[in-house]
Chain A
Amino acid sequence: MTSVADTAPFRLRLSALPAALTLLILVTPFVGLLLSTHWRHFAFTQGDGAAVGVSLGYSLLSLVPIVGLGTPLAWWLARHRMRGQWLIDALLLVALLTPPLAMGLLLATMYGPYGAAGHVLERAGLLLTNSAPAFVLAQFYAALPYYVMAARTAFEGVPRELEQIALTLGYSPWRSFIHVSLPLARLGLAAAVALAWVRALGEFGAVLIIAYYPQGIPVKLWVNLQNVGLDAVYPLLWVFFLVALPLPLVLGMAVRRRLS
């Protein structure tokens, strides 16, 4: 007869197999990049540097409206329950789930030269096609739902009682938000910002439609692939990973550690 103690490690090994296989499949493309890069002839294509500058600069700029507008919405969603709440949740999910290319087409429809908003804004001197503002707009729409979702979860993790205690200690709701809610949600909020940033940085579909120019990293990768070939994308791809991933990785793991 086999004892429980004997079968337990066996079961563990058995259940670890599909997990290991999945991880292996997950890591395969990255190994591919490592093996395919010509390290001896590692060279950038013309315009790669400018693309890095465009991506970094405008993605950081897009964070301003994302955080500025997304934080109050996230806090409001975390702290209020109302009739028709499902509608707001559904709206956020629709924005989150809309494929980037479709989002680009929607943006072109609304903010393009023939769009309702685009027409008005263009007369006011704000061109939202193939311009820096169009680039930021595409990034804003791509990343805002992710930021709101993550920030809402961060605020929901702040015990409401602590905000109330701050009120009883003479703090206004605004000061309570600044001195209690924000510091207690800071890790989750930082992770939300990092997530939004990496989403904005990597946005291709929406950017391609309304802001082919100025070219950021994703569109430049596409252009390099079309004009030169696969070898021309690796250096820029490496830059993308090195720039975009460390911050979200560290914050994501810190949140994970706190949750466990």
Chain B
Amino acid sequence: MQIDYRIEYPVSLHARFEVEGFTVLLGASGEGKTLLLKAIAGLISARGEPFNHLPPQQRAVGYLPQGHALFPHLRAWENVAFTLRGPDRRAMAIQWLERVGLAELAERWPASLSGGQQQRVALARALARRPSLLLLDEPTSALDPVTRDEVLAELIAEVHQAAIPALAVSHDPALAAVADRLVVMHARRIVQIGTPDQVYAQPASGAVARLLGLRNVQRGRVIGTPGAQQLWWPEAGVAVPVRTALADGATVDWHIPPSAVALSESASQGAIAAQFDLRQTNVHGSYLGMRCGQARLWMQLPPGRELPPAPWLSLQPDAIRCWPTEGEA
């Protein structure tokens, strides 16, 4: 489904993209993502397709706001049945709750449900409206970190099963990673569209890389002509060898994967004096946060390798990716 919406107030925003399967609109807080969802749902004044000029009650959307907004004076099944009519509405509501695996909680009040359960009831309520588009506002924000991935997987499975295009807006890279289609917004503009694989492989800018949660995205400037270039990193006060096709003096966002940051044997040219800051260990491995001047660089230490007391770091020139920042807001 093609989305093309223009908002004038309270912020000026234009967004145009295709929603396919589970589409995630990734952007920082304050970009106007929630406003865009409200505009599509008809809750704020805006122009655009689909649903142009229709009042909200005539738009076939299922809107799941942050915090899920279940009606506190209605039981779980009554929330789902809110949009249903006729003598069978209770049975139909229970069927919808069965689909999201919550039929046994039908008589519960919203306040007694967990964040994930509330979200599924809200999803069942939205699906019962038989929408042509699902709108989800920060669906991971109210979830418990421990069960988040599981709840998220369940949610996406439900959306796929319902075969309704869904647009989720979020600043959470974890949500972006499980999307069918990823739309990245920066400075109130759509800056990149693709599958998560495509976008993660080739972020269009440093801003996109930061939104994707990549470590080691820094500011710098390219010095010298292609073939004999260095990257000046002002926060660390060093210049490191780099290979780009950018012109001399170009201001850039640059990134290096933590795996391409190595320990240097000595203070050779382009080596960076560093201090150990902190260690971060998670399921993906162990990262060392190294203080380099005013900035922090993350690295992965090869197994069995010890960190010397006064380490020097070297950056693989081919692993450094630079994006020019001229013209970027």
Contact = CB atoms under 8 A, between A and B. Distances in A.
Nearest to A172: B57
A170 B83 contact: yes
A44 interface: no
Nearest to A184: B73
A159 interface: yes
Contact of A171 (B57, B61, B69): B57
B43 A167 contact: yes
Interface size class of B (residues with CB under 8 A): 20 to 34
Contacts of B55: 167
Interface in B55-69: 55-59, 61-63, 65, 67, 69
Contacts of A184: 71-73
A254 interface: no
Majority DSSP secondary structure for residues of A touching B: helix
Contacts of A183: 73
Interface string A158-175: 010110111111111100
Contact of A161 (B42, B59, B61, B69): B69
Contact of B65 (A165, A166, A180): A165
A86 B58 CA distance: 35
Given A168-B43, A168-B63, A162 B69 contact: yes
B90 interface: no
A169 B129 contact: yes
Nearest to A169: B83
A168 B41 CA distance: 7
Contact of B82 (A159, A161, A164, A169): A169
Contact of A162 (B41, B56, B71): B71
Given A159-B69, A165-B63, A184-B73, A170 B43 contact: no
B321 interface: no
A168 B42 CA distance: 8
A172 B67 CA distance: 23
Interface string B121-150: 000011001000000000000000000000
A168 B82 contact: no
B129 A170 contact: yes
Interface of B: 38, 41-43, 55-59, 61-63, 65, 67, 69, 71-73, 82-83, 125-126, 129
Lowest 5 A-B CB distances belong to which pairs? A167-B56, A168-B63, A169-B83, A165-B69, A183-B73
Given A168-B41, A168-B61, 10 more contacts: A161-B69, A164-B38, A165-B63, A165-B65, A165-B71, A166-B71, A168-B59, A169-B57, A172-B57, A173-B57
